[in-house]
Structure 1
């Protein structure tokens, strides 16, 4: 099979080459991949430690080529979207059936490849906030892939959504996704919130935490800023209006039900009720510029690479 393999001598440390076909375990299905969607975190956390010849990649969509030997998961020929810790950027992927979502027939598999990490993180992180109907929810990094999905899902769940994005020119776009307010930083939040979904971390984390009211929760899903967080003296202490606040760490691939979540997300996108924002799409045979843009976090949405050419 062909794959984007790690090669330290190649530009960007990746090149399209032949690689051994994967051998599925009994609980894994073999997927013929048709589209992949790289994430900045793969370049930040996975690529630096991967050996030459390795195949990395979390998000991939395609069609079941061989069903799992243990009888679990979708049947041969089923279109799917898949999640895994590695080996997604290849023509064939062996993937745990617990990490496979089925896709409605005829749906765009390129769009479906954007869902596992970004939409899955948004969905499961919002659940970690608890019930949000009628509550004030702040979403940082709202113009990014996770943020755009989170804004839509939080609004549909009945929350009052405050979207934080550094670029004020994106305000109308974010309101169109369901945001009630758009701010460019912590100073723009004028009233306490019940929950924060933070993907940025770094220097502003303490300030975002300070926006929480009594019983509020901040779910930390990422550290896109790359910076350190320092809380001021007393920043973690309580007062009568800010008791019982918490910071919750997050790992998308923990817990059951990922297959159900991916299946639901795929159906919502196929029906037009949830919109992925694809900022770049092209063939993986000519992907250097796109991969660089993802690596440097220059895209405000997802990149899709079709396995053609």
Structure 2
């Protein structure tokens, strides 16, 4: 079968190559991939790939071989899945507890845009706790996670201020329920009960200064790729007794499959709208990855397999 393999060359980070078809473990289903999405964080990993790396975490397609242990779909089914690797290929072996069945109303393109960004948003807000009536600041809101967080948090009753440099993206975030959009973090008025920070670098200290007394800042990314420095005494100047919490989306008490099913239900019900900034044939994946790394794509990028 064909699969995309990393090259280590930033000018062409992946190439199509022939590889053996995966042999699923007993708890894995074999999925014929119809579409997959790529994430900006994956572009960074491709800069120095480890030997044998097979990228790809967000897939949608058709189960062509159910799991041998009887778990998961027991026949041919349209699914969305979140394997930890190997999804940028014609076929992927996906653990059944990381699969969700798709209804007719959710396309493969929509589904492929859900897993990593949607799971991150869903679990991030669960970590934050009830947001009804709370003032929420979201940095780095232009990407897929930012869109999902904004829509889910606003629907749950939060007053969301989103930070994005892109005016067009800002207008869309307002449509998705943001109460306000600022193009520079320094312009966010504050204070905020909850700050969701994904930029890192100097933005972390600036975001912390916007946090209310006894508020919470959840640090879930470092898109700037710059280290952050915090001054302990700055807490006394503003967010006295505030909490800083690290977040990783895989640290959860629910299964990936259950949470994917929740995202699918929200999408099917018109309560969650995957924002797809580019759709392309998977032969163009290298170009899409480069554009995503250089922030030339807003929202999700989805690749299709003919």
Provide structure 1 residue ranges, at least 5 long, that are not aligned to the other structure.
Answer: none
Is the Cα–Cα contact under 8 Å of residues 141 and 164 in structure 2 kept in the other structure?
A: yes
Is the Cα–Cα contact under 8 Å of residues 30 and 93 in structure 1 kept in the other structure?
A: yes
Aligned counterpart, 1:259: 257
Is the Cα–Cα contact under 8 Å of residues 215 and 244 in structure 1 kept in the other structure?
A: yes
Is the Cα–Cα contact under 8 Å of residues 132 and 158 in structure 2 kept in the other structure?
A: yes
Would the alpha carbon gap of residues 168 and 8 (structure 1) be closer, same or farther in structure 2, given more than 3 Å must change?
closer
Please, which moves more after superposition, 77-86 or 150-159?
A: 77-86
**Displacement of 1:8 after TM fit?**
4.3
- Superposed, 1:269-308 pairs within 5 Å as 269-308=267-306
Q: Secondary structure at the match of 1:35?
A: strand
Q: Secondary structure at the match of 2:260?
A: helix
Is the Cα–Cα contact under 8 Å of residues 13 and 46 in structure 2 kept in the other structure?
A: no
Q: Secondary structure at the match of 1:173?
A: helix
Aligned length: 305
Would the alpha carbon gap of residues 207 and 292 (structure 1) be closer, same or farther in structure 2, given more than 3 Å must change?
same
- Return the alpha-carbon distance in structure 1 between the equivalents of residues 201 and 142 of structure 2: 17
* Residue 75 (1) aligns with residue 78 (2): no
Superposition CA RMSD, Å: 1.9
- Superposed, 1:188-267 pairs within 5 Å as 188-232=187-231, 234-235=233-234, 237-238=235-236, 242-255=239-252, 256-267=254-265
- Return the alpha-carbon distance in structure 2 between the equivalents of residues 73 and 113 of structure 1: 18
- Return the alpha-carbon distance in structure 2 between the equivalents of residues 168 and 277 of structure 1: 16
Is the Cα–Cα contact under 8 Å of residues 217 and 245 in structure 1 kept in the other structure?
A: yes
Taking structure 1 as the reference length, the TM-score comes to 0.92
- Return the alpha-carbon distance in structure 1 between the equivalents of residues 178 and 10 of structure 2: 42
Would the alpha carbon gap of residues 143 and 11 (structure 1) be closer, same or farther in structure 2, given more than 3 Å must change?
closer
Is the Cα–Cα contact under 8 Å of residues 37 and 58 in structure 2 kept in the other structure?
A: yes
Is the Cα–Cα contact under 8 Å of residues 40 and 296 in structure 1 kept in the other structure?
A: no
**Displacement of 1:56 after TM fit?**
0.8
Is the Cα–Cα contact under 8 Å of residues 186 and 211 in structure 1 kept in the other structure?
A: no
Aligned counterpart, 2:122: 123
Q: Secondary structure at the match of 1:234?
A: helix
- Return the alpha-carbon distance in structure 2 between the equivalents of residues 62 and 201 of structure 1: 35
**Displacement of 1:199 after TM fit?**
1.6
Taking structure 2 as the reference length, the TM-score comes to 0.93
Aligned counterpart, 1:143: 142
Is the Cα–Cα contact under 8 Å of residues 126 and 197 in structure 1 kept in the other structure?
A: no
Is the Cα–Cα contact under 8 Å of residues 13 and 286 in structure 2 kept in the other structure?
A: no
Would the alpha carbon gap of residues 251 and 233 (structure 1) be closer, same or farther in structure 2, given more than 3 Å must change?
closer
CA offset digits 1:11-58 (Å, max 9, x no partner)? 51311121111111112111111101011111113552232x642111
Is the Cα–Cα contact under 8 Å of residues 129 and 218 in structure 1 kept in the other structure?
A: no
Would the alpha carbon gap of residues 63 and 168 (structure 1) be closer, same or farther in structure 2, given more than 3 Å must change?
same
Would the alpha carbon gap of residues 163 and 8 (structure 1) be closer, same or farther in structure 2, given more than 3 Å must change?
closer
- Superposed, 1:32-111 pairs within 5 Å as 32-46=32-46, 48-51=48-51, 54-111=53-110
